[in-house]
């Protein structure tokens, strides 16, 4: 689906899928957690500069108190907690120390503790808070599949497009500022110096280097070299994509079955192929 100036320009479904079918966002849904965290902060429930232990209590990790006290909410948003990123299951025995918070970037499931923080501070399940404060206000549908390892959002394509439009307008929807504008702008800018291509669970193009999940390697160049430099993206396994290009006022979503590109991580050859084809049409 392609939207230009906030209106649908292209909407196509394939392989028997229809506009009413739902699909999992996979890791593209991390940005929904970012947005909800921003709402919780503007509502006075949390401060992203505070220690996580202020909300979850001392002992939420399997580290020393001194190591744990270095981890802030912002570290969870920026993937710089310093905790072991290899285990997928976010339970205390797996949350072991690798580095001081803020000194190591690693893509990990520990970001899910943000959902726990929101639950603790508003005395309601994360999904209820998310629905009341975000989903319902912009007319989205869908629900969270809270599995043992992954918390994945499922919705139809138009609901993903609604969130994408909200993000493209820095948290504003039909004249109402749903999410603090400064927070939303901050979330879509470099969050730390280790991986400049990462904001608060958003991927950023146009930077001089980038890192990828399950790796400590730094790659030189832009995240997607043939995409616009100002592109901001939410990326999920099997090609779930949100692309926002502010300079062109274009937003694009792709959701559905695996792209068949042979690589199923957040960044894949699909991104390069898509932008090659898209550029041929619009340029």
Tell me the mean pLDDT in the region 99-116.
Answer: 97
Reported as a pLDDT band with limits 50, 70 and 90, residue 265 is low
By CB neighbour count within 10 A (0-12 exposed, 13-18 middle, 19+ buried), where does 27 fall?
A: buried
Confidence label for 258 from pLDDT (cuts 50, 70 and 90): confident
The owner of tokens 């990828």 is 212
| Segment 210-232, tens digit of pLDDT | 999 989 999 999 999 999 999 99
Please check whether residue 82 is in contact with residue 70, taking contact to mean a CB–CB distance below 8 angstroms.
yes
As given in the structure block, the two tokens for residue 262 are 């042979």
Fold (CATH) for 2-282: Beta-lactamase (3.40.710)
Binned at pLDDT 50, 70 and 90, residue 281 comes out as confident
Q: What is the pLDDT, as a whole number, of residue 261?
A: 55
Q: Express each pLDDT in 177-216 by its tens digit.
A: 999 999 999 999 999 999 999 999 999 999 999 999 989 9
- Per-residue pLDDT at 264 exceeds 90: no
Task: Determine the pLDDT at residue 266.
Answer: 64
Taking the C-alpha atoms of residue 81 and residue 93, their distance in angstroms, rounded to an integer, is 15
Tokens 């929101």, residue located: 118
């Amino acid at each position: 689906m392609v939207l230009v100036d906030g209106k649908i320009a292209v909407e196509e479904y394939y392989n028997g899928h229809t506009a009413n079918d739902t699909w999992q966002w996979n890791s593209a849904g991390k940005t929904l957690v970012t947005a909800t965290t921003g709402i919780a902060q503007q509502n006075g429930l949390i401060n992203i500069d505070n220690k996580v232990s202020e909300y979850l209590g001392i002992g939420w990790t399997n580290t020393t108190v001194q190591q744990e006290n270095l981890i802030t909410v912002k570290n969870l948003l920026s993937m710089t907690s310093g905790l072991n990123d290899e285990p997928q299951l976010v339970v205390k025995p797996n949350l072991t120390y690798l580095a001081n918070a803020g000194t190591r970037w690693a893509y990990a499931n520990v970001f899910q503790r943000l959902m726990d923080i929101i639950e603790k501070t508003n005395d309601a399940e994360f999904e209820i808070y998310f629905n009341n404060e975000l989903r319902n206000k912009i007319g989205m549908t869908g629900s969270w599949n809270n599995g043992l390892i992954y918390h994945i959002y499922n919705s139809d394509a138009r609901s993903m497009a609604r969130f994408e439009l909200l993000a493209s307008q820095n948290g504003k929807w039909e004249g109402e500022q749903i999410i603090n504008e400064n927070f939303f702008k901050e979330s879509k800018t470099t969050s730390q110096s280790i991986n400049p291509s990462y904001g608060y669970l958003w991927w950023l193009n146009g930077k001089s280097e980038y890192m990828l999940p399950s790796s400590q390697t730094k790659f030189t160049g832009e995240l997607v070299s043939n995409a616009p430099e100002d592109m901001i993206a939410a990326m999920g396994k099997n090609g779930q994509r949100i692309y926002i290009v502010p300079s062109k006022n274009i937003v694009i979503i792709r959701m559905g079955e695996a792209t068949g590109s042979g690589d199923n991580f957040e960044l894949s050859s699909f991104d390069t192929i898509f932008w090659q084809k898209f550029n041929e049409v619009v340029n």
